[in-house]
Amino acid sequence: MASYFDEHDTNSGDAQTENDALALARMLLMMGFGDEWNAEFERMFGGNRKIPPASAKSIQDLETKFVSSSLAAQGLQCPVCLTEFDEEDELKVLPCNHQFHTKCIITWLQKVCSCPVCRHELPTDDPDYEAYKKEKARAKQREFELETLHNSMFA
């Protein structure tokens, strides 16, 4: 009696199985499931990505101001060094409007590109990280659009 593979002229080897798996993977990517795999990978391993420092230009472009007597009287502290602002201290203001001693925030931003209070991110000189941020924003936008579409169809 002939085997099944002989009768149907098929190859029982691993090469065919690998080709099938590759074809399935390509089909899933073409159907848009690649984004879901990337999102799941990011959810599982996203904490391992090192955040680069802020770009020198973004640090240089920060607004500089000096502590007024009224601000000093409020007893506000620098969130980095936790010392109170004294009158005439030089401050840097981030785009999120948080204020810091100039020396404190420059040291911080030379290590990490985000605000120490709210994690608002400044631009970096790392093209890979900038592409990663854009991809995250696109994924968030796609999720919003899908939710909006779903709500408009079934509202």
Q: Identify whether the C-beta of residue 87 lies closer than 8 Å to the C-beta of residue 67.
A: yes
Record the tokens describing residue 143, joined without a space: 């999720």
Percent of the chain whose pLDDT exceeds 90: 44
* DSSP code for 84: B
pLDDT (tens digit per residue) in 42-101: 666 665 567 899 999 999 999 999 998 888 889 899 999 999 999 999 999 999 999 999
**For range 130-145, the mean pLDDT:** 89
Return phi, psi of residue 120, to 5°.
Answer: -60, 130
Q: Rounded to two decimals, what is the model's pTM?
A: 0.61
Q: Give the chain as a DSSP string.
A: ---HHHHTT---SHHHHHHHHHHHHHHHHHTTHHHHHHHHHHHHHGGGSPPPPBPHHHHHTSEEEE--HHHHHTT-B-TTT-PBPPTT-EEEE-TT--EEEHHHHHHHHTT-SB-TTT-PBPPBS-HHHHHHHHHHHHHHHHHHHHHHHHHHH--
Structure tokens at 51: 């955040």
DSSP state of 122: P
Structure tokens at 80: 């980095």
CATH code of the domain occupying 56-110? 3.30.40.10
Q: What pLDDT score does 57 carry?
A: 96
Please say if the pLDDT value at position 30 is more than 80: no
**Mean of per-residue pLDDT scores for the chain:** 84
